[in-house]
């Protein structure tokens, strides 16, 4: 019952309330990033969602468009800006995703939406993370975020898929708020950029 109807109701109410309450901050960050990113405050990218259907995720832009001589972007760790590091450390770069939640592309809680190129690299169990909508925060995020291995992330995602409930969503949501407010968890506020997932046979920590 909750998975079919209650979760969507929870998402709409939470996302709408969040956008209204945080609207002054949203406007301020948009204007600030317009200045620092040459009029480009937002980052859009196709990501796989429920049942692997792609959607356009929106985030605050945290990386500069720096390319090499072959017009290929440099690595993420070399392109992240100073203000981008702050936005990531405080998770404020995720704020525009409340719009994705209102649209129904994402949920407030769920496995993080990763890159489309990863789909062909998942094994059968890892692919099950797409049996639910991706989320702004999730079980893996409150249990290590980018400080844990890909295997651990997928294990946490699978646990969430198999145990999805109102109680678990509320637990993840409240723990996320606690960590955001008190800022005492080093791994939750890490600026570490996750290495690319290259497949189960070559996982890196």
Give the domain ranges of the chain.
2-191
Number of other residues whose CB lies within 10 A of the CB of residue 158 = 18
Q: What residues are paired with 109 via a beta bridge?
A: 137
Q: What is the largest CA-CA distance in the chain?
A: 54
Pull the structure tokens for residue 172. Answer: 């993840």
Q: pTM for the full model?
A: 0.86
Q: Please give the pLDDT value at position 190.
A: 55
- DSSP reduced 3-state for 130: helix
> Alpha-carbon distance 91 to 135, whole Å?
13
What's the gap between Cα 34 and its chain centre? 22
User: Half-sphere exposure (CA, 13 Å, Cβ side) for 99?
Assistant: 14
* Predicted pLDDT of residue 88: 87
What pLDDT score was predicted for residue 191? 57
- Tens digits of residue pLDDT in 155-169: 999 999 999 999 999
Q: Show the low-confidence residues of the chain (pLDDT under 50).
A: 202-205
Q: In the chain, at which residue ranges do the beta strands (DSSP E only) sit?
A: 42-48, 54-60, 107-109, 135-137
Q: Counting beta carbons within 10 angstroms of the beta carbon of residue 118, is it exposed (0 to 12), middle (13 to 18) or buried (19 or more)?
A: middle
Neighbours of 81 (CB within 10 A): 17
Q: Is 43 left (phi over 0), alpha (psi -120 to 50) or beta?
A: beta
What pLDDT sits at residue 132? 97
In which residue are the tokens 């450390």 written? 89
Which residues does residue 67 pair with via DSSP β-bridges, in sequence order? 73
Tokens 């169990």, located at residue: 125
Asked if residue 142 lies in contact with residue 175, where contact means CB atoms within 8 angstroms, the answer is yes
pLDDT at site 65:
79
């Amino acid at each position: 019952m909750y998975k079919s109807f209650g979760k969507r109701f929870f998402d709409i109410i939470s996302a709408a309330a969040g956008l209204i309450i945080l609207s002054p901050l949203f406007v301020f960050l948009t204007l600030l990033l317009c200045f620092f990113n040459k009029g480009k405050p937002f980052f859009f990218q196709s990501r796989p969602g429920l049942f692997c259907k792609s959607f356009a995720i929106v985030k605050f832009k945290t990386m500069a468009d720096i390319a090499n001589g072959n017009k290929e972007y440099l690595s993420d760790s070399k392109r992240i800006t100073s203000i981008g590091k702050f936005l990531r450390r405080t998770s404020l770069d995720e704020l525009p995703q409340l719009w994705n939640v209102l649209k129904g592309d994402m949920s407030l809680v769920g496995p993080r939406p990763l890159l489309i190129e990863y789909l062909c690299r998942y094994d059968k169990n890892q692919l099950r993370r797409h049996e639910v909508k991706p989320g702004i925060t999730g079980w893996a995020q409150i249990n290590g975020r980018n400080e844990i291995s890909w295997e651990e992330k997928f294990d946490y995602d699978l646990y969430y898929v198999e145990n999805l409930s109102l109680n678990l969503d509320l637990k993840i949501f409240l723990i996320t708020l606690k960590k955001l407010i008190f800022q005492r968890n080093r791994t939750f506020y890490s600026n570490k950029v996750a290495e690319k997932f290259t497949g189960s046979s070559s996982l890196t920590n």
